[in-house]
Every structure is written in structure tokens, then in C-alpha cells.
Structure 1
Amino acid sequence: METSISLDQTLFQLGASTVSVGAALLAAAAITALVVVFAVIAVWRSARMRLVAEIQAEDRARDAEARMGEILKSQSEMQGRMQTMAELFGSRQAELNQSIRERLDGMTSRIGQTMTEQTQSTHENLAKLQERLAVIDTAQNNIQALAGQVVQLQAILANKQTRGAFGQARMEAIVADGLPQGAYEFQATLSNGSRPDCVVRMPNGAPNLVIDAKFPLEAWNAIRASESPEAKKMALAQFRRDVEIHIRDVAEKYLINGETQDTAFLFVPSESIFAEIHENFEGVVQKAHRSRIVIVSPSLLMLSIQVIQAVLKDVRMREQAHLIQGEVIRLMEDVGRLDDRVRRLQTHFGQANKDIDDILVSSSKVTKRGQKIEALEFAEAPVGDVVKDADSARTAASATGQLRLRVVDGED
């Protein structure tokens, strides 16, 4: 039994639309036609693309051959240029090598000269350094010796007796350097039996000046050695008492009316201690002034000694004034006698000058007369007086010759 299918038969329904078999077949045919058309178009495009690709390949091949020719040409030119550059580089390399060798030689010579100079300078510096080291060694030895002396000085100042001897020696050195011998005396005995450290003899019978060098320094050392405020306060009070007691002792022992000056010197062997006393112990200084005691340091003592030396020189000049006056009077008498003798000698010189002028006049006259005598001429004898004998003729010519006088100058 055959089954007949109608084209109008409904195949399926899509939403509100009904798709029949005919419509489906028509759609399938249309789709197949489109696929065939697309396949033909694709084949045509593929053939066209292959043709274009072959054309482009041929163009690329021609371009490649042209470029290869250009590259070969450029390569040949490059080879020529490379050869030229190689030759140029070779010549430049030779010049560069020569220049480098010359510069190396110059640098070598300069470096050698510089090394020589540096070596010489180094030797000289080493020699100077050795000299300076020798000087430093000497200075170090001197410093060590000085340190030893400082230790010895410290030991001296630590002992009361040796410290007093040190102050006494320093005072004696200042006085001995500034005053002439006989103008001072050390450890002289006064009328009351006391013996000051130094007595300076003043001129014109004036009383002597007394200098004491036994300044108390034990309390001062205690001030320096004190560690607590209480110990320092006690040391200050003790130093003040010691100095006041010593000032009173000096005033009582060495200030004698008519024998010594109204003022005495209390010598302090240290400038720093002197400055400290005047700065921090004003009461002690005022008490010394009231007691007519002058506290002096080494510099002030030296200045006072120089003043005393000037006074002594002035006194000696005044004492020698009458001798100088007598010598001046005798000198003026000698000058008067010298003036008289010079005047007489001037008179003698005037007379001698007059005599010399007369002698010159006489010598001038004698000279002129001599010139006149030199101007005399002798004439020959007459012909008629010739004798037969030749000797007789010469004798007759000399005896009877005529004297001609030619006057040169008319003066007598």
C-alpha cells in the first residue's frame, strides 16, 4: 500500500506559525543553493588568492634578486671600504703605537726623574726627621732633667729649712745683681742683736733698709693640700695668723729708730703667692701697711733695688761733682793756653807767608835774569883781521870777537 505525502501537510508548528513539508523542502533547497554558491565563491576566492600569492611570490623573488644584487654590490663596496679602513687602521695603529711608545718613553723618563727627586726629597726629609728626632730626644732629656729638678725643688720646698734657704738665695741673687759690692750686707747684726737676712746701706748716712726672706709657707701648703671646706677654712685662718705673727716679729726686731728705715721689706719668693695674698687676704696687707712692713714679690724687689741703685748713682755723681768742676777749670786753662799758642803760631805763619812771598819775588827775578843770559849771541871776527897762523886766528877771533846783546825783556 503506497502512502502519499501531501506538500501541504503540516510538519511542525513553531509558536503561532505552522511549517508545512513543502515549505521545509523549499527552505532546504534554498539552503543547499546558498551552500553551493558559498562553496563556489570560496573556491574562486581561494584560486584568486593563490594567484595573488604567486604574483606576490614572483615580485618578492624579483625583489630578493634585486636586493641580493644590491647586497652583493654593497658587500663588494664594503669589502673595498673594509680593506681601505684596514689599511687606514693599520697606518693609524702604527702611528698610535709610535705615539704611545714616545709617550711611554717620556712618561718613563719623567717617572724616573720624579722617582729620583722623590727619593732625594725622601732622603732629605728623613735626614731632617732624624735631626728633629735628635732635637726631640735632647728636649726630652732636658725635660727629664727639668722634671728631676722640679722634684728636687718640690723636695726643697717641702722642708722648712731648705725652703727658707731657697727664699734667702733668691733674695740674695736679686740684691747682688742690682747693687754694687759694699752697698749691702747679708746676715748683718743690728744693735739689738737681731740678724736680718739682708741690710741695704743707704747713702748720705741714712738709716739702712732691712729685707726679711723668712715668709711662712707651711699654712699656705696646708691650704693647697686641704680637701674639705672645713680643713681649708682652718688652713686659711692658720695662714692669716702665721703671717700676722711674722709681720709683728719683723716690725719689732728690725725697725730700730735711727738705725734702720721706718719701713722694712718682707720678701715672698713666689709671684702667685704674692698675688693670692693681695687678692684674698686684704686684712693681712692692711696690717702690714700699718706695721710699716711692705710685702714684696721678686719683681717688686727687683724694681726697688733698681730704684736704690739709681739713688746710689746720683749720690756718687753728686760726691764727684767738685772733682768734675776742678777738672773742667783746669781744662779751660789748658784751652786758654792752647788759644794763645795758636794765635802766636798764626803770627809766625803770617810772617813765614810774607817771607815766602819775598823769596818767590827774588826767585822770579833770578829766573828772568837767567833767561836774559840764555838770550846772549856772539858775532864772528872781521875778514881783514885774519892772520896767517890758524891757531893765532882762532885766538884772535875769540879775543876780539864782538858781543851782541839782544834784549828779551825790558825789566831789570
Structure 2
Amino acid sequence: MNAFDFSRDFLTIGTTVLSFGDFLIIALGLCLLLALFFLFSIWRSARMRALEAQYLRQQDELRAQEAEARMAQLVATQSELTGRLASMQDSVTVQQSAFSKQLDERLANVTGRVSQSLADTQKNTMENLAKLQERLAVIDTAQNNIQSLAQDVVGLQSILQNKQTRGAFGQSRMEAIVQDGLPMGSFEFQPTLSNGKRPDCTILMPNDGPVLVVDAKFPLEAWSRLQEAQNADERKIAGADFKRDLEVHVKDIAEKYFVPGETQDTAFLFVPSESIFAEIHEHFEGVVQKAHKSRIVIVSPSLLLLSVQVIQSVLKDARMREQAHLIQGEVMKFMTDLSRLDDRIRKLKSHHDLAAKDIDQILTSTDKLTRHGAKIESLEFGAPEETKPVEKGKPFLRAIESGEQ
């Protein structure tokens, strides 16, 4: 048996003649290049998934840092408002005490008409102080509301805990997370949209924005078949069925629950298990990409919990801003009343100074009249029968009538 001759001519291309050995070397080289290209594609795909996961983790960390910074800012604002209110209360108390003491001292030195005038003025002043006390009571109430809201924001509660015996998947678990994480009135289960469709849940957004739709109709049967597959063929068939069902469900959400002006342009597809969520992102990346293009976000219980916490923080931040506006309005009213009180105190001081001046002038006239009376009494008349008491009093009467001082 003769050995195979690799140098024998095998292929002629133009003027180039290739032996069988040359052709075999070229074929092996092409196969090696194809294998290297295939391995590079696999490595590139794995690298892209790792970078995407790292980007998502960085985004989550940035959101957490922004939430902490906002919380610190709210606490600082609340502390500053508390200090300002306490300073205003102390100032009003000191001014009220000083005013009451000065008013008592001056009222003790005034009689007659001046006493009545000061009594009327004091009555008006006490009414104004009562109004100021009412304003301070309103400010204290608003301050207590802010403190209560701040404690609620700091004390984040466990949202995954289910208070009743419910199922572990689908609608029941989604309702438990939403009910435990949001206040009553900020969500609604099984509502009816304007197009007649009924999503599993809608969440109210701040500033009367369109509602956010959450769907919990996960294709659990197809997933169960995938988990129960006994061999590779069954798993392949079940995986294709699960992928098809999931894509159809994503399409249904996009067609039914996107109503312009009524719902957000993004919806949540709730997956009832963290393991199912990880399996979908690991083995069904194409479905995840299609969902993103359709503005459907696939969320696990932990991601839904995080989203609910963010919405709750935004809602509470909006309510705290409303309370801040209320406090600002009450402070402006307080400053207006305080300015009015200062004007009335200055007017009272002016009236008191005028009254004191009038009393000094009356005392001066009284002293002069007393001296005139003493001079009249010291006069010597001739006979007692010629004494005329009326004539004796005429200089005194003339002095009063002429206003002589």
C-alpha cells in the first residue's frame, strides 16, 4: 500500500497550483480562525453582561446616596425652622413681660381720664396678644407635623412582611408589598382605565401625575414546566414556550395599559421570585431587551420594594413641602401682627407722654392758684360788715376764667 502523497497537485486557481498539503493547511487555518472568532464572541458577550450588571449596581448606589442626601437636607431644614420658632417665642415672651411691667408702672401714676384711656389701650393690647398666642399655637401644630413626618422618613419599615396568610406568587405578593409600603389612598388594585382595561395595580404619582401601572400576571405555568423538565430536549421546548408566553405578556401590557395622559409611559412587570428574576436575566436576555424597548421594566420583589420606597419618599417630601409653606405663611402673619403691636405700643407711649405733660401743667396752675388764694387770705379789710365774700373770690374766679397760670 503506497503512502499518500501530500505534494500532489490538488487545486489550480489561475496560475497558482495548490498541493493537497497546502490546501489542508489553509483549511486548518480557517477552522482555527473561526474557532477563535467564536471564542471571542462568547467572551465579549460575557464581558457586556458583566459591565451592564456593574452599571446597574452603580446606579442603585447613586440613587441611595441621593436619597440619603435629601434626607439629611430635610432634617437640617427642620432643625433650622425649630430654632427660629423657639427664638421668636422667646423674643415675644420677653417683650410681653417688659411691656406689662412698664404698663403697670405708668398706670399707677395716672388718674381720671388718663386711667380710662390706658385701660382701653390695655384691652386692645391684650386682644392682640391673644391673637399672637393663637398664631403660635398653629405654628406649634405645624412643627409637630413636620417632626412626625421626619420620624416616618427616618424609620423605614419592612415592606416585604405579609400580615396575612397569602400565596407566595403573583397578585397576592405584589399587593402585600404595595400595601405595606404605601399609605392608603396612594394606590388602587384592579382599577378600570378609560379604555376599559383593568391592570392589577396603579400607584398614584406626586403632583397629580399619571398613575404607574404594575402587572402581576406572570406566566407561572410555563415556568413550572421549565423547572420540571427531565432532560435537555424537554427543557429546550419548555424554555421556548416560556419565552413565547413572556413576550406575548409584554406585548399585552404595552397595548392595554399605556393610555396617554392617564398612565405613565413606563410599566412594571412583577416577577414573584428573586430566583425567577435572576433566571430570566441570565437565560432570556432577549426577552429583557424587548421589554425595555417596549418601556416595560421587569421587577423582582426587592426591586418593587425599592421602587415603592422611592415613591413613598417622594410623596412624603411633597407633603413636607406643603407643611413648610404653611409655616412660612404663619410666620409672615406673625411678623405682621408683631409690627402692628409695635406701632400700637409707640402710640400708647406718645399718649402717655402727652398725659404726663398735661398733668404737670395742671399741677403748675394749681400751685399758682394756691399762691393767689394765700395772698387773698392775707389781705386786711376795714370793717367786718364791709367784708364781701363774693368780692373776695372775684380775683380767683377771674384767674380761672382767663386761664391764668
TM-score tier after normalising by the smaller chain length: 0.3 to 0.5
TM-score w.r.t. the length of structure 2 is: 0.42
Bigger radius of gyration, 1 or 2? 1
Indicate the structure whose relative CO is greater, using CA pairs within 8 Å and at least 6 residues apart.
2
TM-score by length of 1: 0.41
